[in-house]
Structure 1
């Protein structure tokens, strides 16, 4: 998170949940990728993971964007620790 914040990318913490475990990519408001994949080397090379990609479905993409927006609104700004 320090890397993101240090690059000027806003980062937020949502304390309403013990673990916020969503892993979703929405691109071009039309395509959605969702699954267990953690976007890490271990996930890529060692773990049993699943990913679903939904192409050209703006309705599904909007539902995931709405979910993300609701979590972002619940969050508080996270500040770089070093």
Structure 2
């Protein structure tokens, strides 16, 4: 929300960070899909249908954020 309210343009990511984070995107997708499959195996009835999209979405975002953080730290290590 603060990004939308500020007048400054958003800081562009470095090409290497974008390359590393998109190259490892399959991990985030796999975590999201895997969590949905696991929930469908553990729970029965309506619960998996209600919980799986939420858990898969949250897990995808968290793993994607971890991938970007790792890519940024790798890029900052190379700059030193």
TM range (shorter): 0.3 to 0.5
Which of structures 1 and 2 has the bigger CA Rg? 2
Higher strand share: 1
* TM-score normalised by the chain length of structure 1: 0.32
Compute the TM-score of the two structures, normalised by the length of structure 2: 0.32
Choose between structure 1 and 2: higher helix proportion.
2
